[in-house]
Structure 1
Amino acid sequence: MVLGCESLGQVTPAPGSPTRIQLERLLASVRSVPARSRPGGYERGCGSGQGCVFGPAWTDDHDGPGGHDGCDSRNTVLARQLARVSFRPGNGCVVVSGSLNDPYTGQRIAFDRADAKAVQIDHVYPLAAAWDLGASGWPLPLRVRFANDVDYNLLAVDGKANEDKGDRTPGDWLPPARANHCFYAGKYLMAANRYGLPVTTADRDALGRVARACP
Structure 2
Amino acid sequence: MYPEIGPGCTLTGGTWWSYYDEREVTPAGALDIDHFVPLAEVHDSGGFAWDAARREAYANDQASPLTLIAVTAKSNRSKADKDPAQWLPPAGGSHCEYAAQWTATKLRWNLAADEAERQALLGLAEDCPNTTVVYESAP
CA distance in structure 1 between the aligned counterparts of 2:108 and 2:4, rounded to whole angstroms: 32
Q: Provide the TM-score with structure 1 as the length reference.
A: 0.55
Query: What does residue 46 of structure 2 align with?
Result: 134
Greater RCO between the two (CA within 8 Å, min separation 6)?
Answer: 1
CA distance in structure 2 between the aligned counterparts of 1:166 and 1:211, rounded to whole angstroms: 23
CA distance in structure 1 between the aligned counterparts of 2:125 and 2:72, rounded to whole angstroms: 24
Q: Structure 1 vs Structure 2: percent identity of aligned residues? A: 34
- The yes-or-no answer on 1:86 pairing with 2:4 is yes
Q: How many pairs are equivalent?
A: 127
Spell out the pairing of 1:64-103 with structure 2 (5 A cutoff).
84-88=2-6, 93-103=9-19
Q: Which residues of structure 1 form unaligned runs of 5+?
A: 1-82
Spell out the pairing of 1:96-135 with structure 2 (5 A cutoff).
96-112=12-28, 116=29, 118-135=30-47
Say which SS state the counterpart of residue 167 (structure 1) adopts. Answer: coil
Q: Which residues of structure 2 form unaligned runs of 5+?
A: 131-139
Shift of 1:180: 0.6
RMSD: 1.6
Structure with greater helix share of residues: 2
Query: What does residue 45 of structure 1 align with?
Result: none
Query: What does residue 202 of structure 1 align with?
Result: 116
Q: Deviation per CA, 1:82-101, whole angstroms, max 9, x where unpaired? A: x7212216x7x542332111
Q: Deviation per CA, 1:183-202, whole angstroms, max 9, x where unpaired? A: 11111111100111011111
CA distance in structure 1 between the aligned counterparts of 2:97 and 2:60, rounded to whole angstroms: 20
Runs of 4+ residues deviating >4 angstroms: none
Q: Provide the TM-score with structure 2 as the length reference.
A: 0.84
CA distance in structure 2 between the aligned counterparts of 1:199 and 1:111, rounded to whole angstroms: 35
CA distance in structure 1 between the aligned counterparts of 2:23 and 2:72, rounded to whole angstroms: 8
Query: What does residue 38 of structure 1 align with?
Result: none
Picking from 144, 148, 160, the partner of 2:60 is 148
The structure number with the bigger radius of gyration is 1
Say which SS state the counterpart of residue 149 (structure 1) adopts. Answer: coil
- The yes-or-no answer on 1:182 pairing with 2:100 is no
Spell out the pairing of 1:7-22 with structure 2 (5 A cutoff).
none
Say which SS state the counterpart of residue 22 (structure 2) adopts. Answer: coil
Spell out the pairing of 1:36-75 with structure 2 (5 A cutoff).
none
